[in-house]
């Protein structure tokens, strides 16, 4: 195993060394989904060459076992070890319906955001989110596309409200509960991503299947959780929504493709300067309205840093890293996307990954401290057991010696009587 690991690292270093800087930067902007619950050789080679910076896991990638932890951890470890730049290994693990790591695979139980909101207790959020974060960290998953901070504006909303993905219809409550959720993830070095900007809680339609126009239902209050969490310093990253809001974008572009929304509102108005993930670019709200090349160019121009291609949407054409990479590279070569724009995304991504490696280092230091503490406790227990065993043996010897002494005295008395 050690020889295989060394070979993997050497191969990745050689392939990476032969890659130009622009290609490296573009690779960091690509997120891809994998086909099965095992290491995919094609994806592994793309990782090794630095052509992809983020991988995402779905339930299809979880080994179908009642104890899936070890094989899933081995899979994430294999990808991570092959990467010349540390990977984001991401998952949508909100809890409830959006739950890839189910109890039947041996993972902890999770609750919906709404159930936690109804409980009205930060202790409940703390308990379930800490268990979730600890589990993710142990698996080598370092990004959770959660919490969902959509405000439950429309009770008829099928994709957020009815399936209980929103904490509350009150924006302040959403922010409060989300902050505790994020705090627990940070304890274990897991990055979180708020979603779905600028708010999906008022829609009547589902962007998985087509256009969701919230022009007449969206309210400014849906931005409040983002602003409150930004003010409190609890925003690691943000995921976009494909909703259409003509009051926010004069051209009627979906949020993911809108510079007015992402640059104008998120970055300039709210002041967020971190990493922006797109929602899945294979959702039909995008694919039925825009071609692949057009949507990629618009998203990057709008301010998206990492483009998500999950290969998990029914009826959607599979997207490969090579194809996405070629489109971005060609757009830069033609001057349709500036090198400066790529540099901006790369700088934001690397800044977050730097924090990630620091978090992981602290996580492993904590793991070592816990192991050492357990070892010390076991050593003390062993010493105490040995002491007690010695005392019991000593006591037994004393009893035996006393009994022998008394028996000897009796025998001596008998001998004297006979002599007399």
Catalytically annotated residues: 208, 279
DSSP state of 207: T
DSSP 218-240: --GGGGHHHHHHHHHT--SEEEE
CA distance 38 to 63: 8
What is the helix (H) or strand (E) element at residue 303, kind and residue range?
Answer: none
24/234 Cα distance (integer angstroms): 29
Tell me the C-alpha distance between 399 and 72, whole Å: 58
Q: 340 is written with which tokens? A: 């400066």
Query: Is 62 buried (19+), middle (13-18) or exposed (0-12) by CB count in 10 A?
Result: buried
Q: From CA 378, how far away is CA 381, in angstroms rounded? A: 5
| CA atoms of 170 and 391, how far apart (whole Å) | 65
Distances (CA, A) of 50 to 55, 207, 319, 398: 12, 31, 17, 73
> How far is 259 from 93, CA to CA, in rounded Å?
28
Q: CA-to-CA distance for 303 and 260, rounded, in angstroms?
A: 10
Instruction: Give the number of other CB atoms < 10 A from CB of residue 90.
Output: 25
What does DSSP assign to residue 290?
S
**How far is the C-alpha of 105 from the C-alpha of 68, rounded, in Å?**
5
Q: Are strands 93-95 and 191-197 parallel, antiparallel or unpaired?
A: unpaired
Sign of CA dihedral 214, 219, 220, 224: negative
Rg of the chain over Cα atoms, rounded to whole angstroms, equals: 29
Residue written as tokens 């002491």? 387
Q: Is 369 exposed, middle or buried (0-12, 13-18, 19+ CB in 10 A)?
A: exposed
């Amino acid at each position: 195993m050690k020889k295989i690991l060394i070979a993997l690292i050497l191969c990745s270093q050689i392939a990476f060394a032969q890659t130009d800087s622009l290609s490296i930067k573009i690779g960091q902007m690509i997120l891809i989904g994998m086909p099965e619950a095992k290491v995919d050789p094609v994806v592994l080679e793309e990782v090794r060459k630095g052509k992809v910076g983020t991988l995402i896991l779905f339930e299809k990638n979880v080994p179908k076992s009642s104890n899936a932890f070890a094989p899933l951890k081995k899979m994430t470890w294999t990808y991570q070890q092959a990467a010349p730049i540390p990977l984001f290994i991401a998952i949508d693990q909100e809890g409830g319906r959006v739950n890839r790591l189910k109890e039947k695979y041996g993972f902890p139980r999770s609750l919906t955001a709404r159930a936690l909101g109804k409980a009205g207790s930060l202790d409940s959020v703390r308990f379930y989110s800490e268990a979730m974060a600890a589990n993710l960290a142990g698996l080598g998953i370092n990004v959770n596309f959660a919490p969902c901070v959509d405000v439950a504006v429309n009770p008829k909303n099928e994709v957020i409200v009815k399936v209980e993905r929103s904490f509350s219809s009150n924006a302040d409550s959403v922010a409060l509960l989300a902050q505790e959720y994020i705090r627990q993830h940070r304890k274990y070095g897991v990055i979180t991503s708020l979603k779905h900007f600028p708010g999906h809680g008022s829609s009547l339609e589902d962007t998985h299947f087509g256009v969701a126009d919230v022009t007449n239902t969206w309210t400014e209050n849906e931005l409040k959780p983002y602003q409150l969490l930004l003010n409190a310093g609890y925003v690691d990253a943000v995921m976009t929504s494909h909703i259409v809001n003509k009051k926010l974008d004069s051209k009627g572009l979906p949020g993911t493709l809108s510079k007015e929304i992402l640059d104008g509102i998120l970055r300039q108005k709210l002041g967020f300067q971190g990493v922006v993930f797109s929602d899945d670019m294979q959702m039909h709200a995008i694919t039925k309205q825009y071609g692949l090349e057009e949507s990629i160019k618009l998203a990057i121009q709008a301010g998206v840093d990492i483009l998500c291609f999950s290969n998990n949407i029914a009826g959607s054409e599979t997207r490969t890293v090579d194809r996405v990479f070629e489109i971005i590279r060609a757009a830069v070569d033609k001057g349709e996307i500036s090198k400066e724009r790529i540099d901006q995304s790369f700088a934001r991504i690397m800044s977050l990954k730097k924090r990630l490696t620091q978090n992981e280092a602290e996580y492993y230091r904590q793991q070592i401290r816990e192991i050492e503490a357990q070892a010390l406790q076991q050593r003390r227990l062993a010493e105490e057991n040995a002491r007690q065993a010695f005392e019991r043996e000593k006591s037994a010897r004393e009893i035996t010696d006393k009994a022998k002494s008394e028996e000897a005295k009796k025998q001596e008395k008998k001998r004297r009587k006979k002599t007399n």
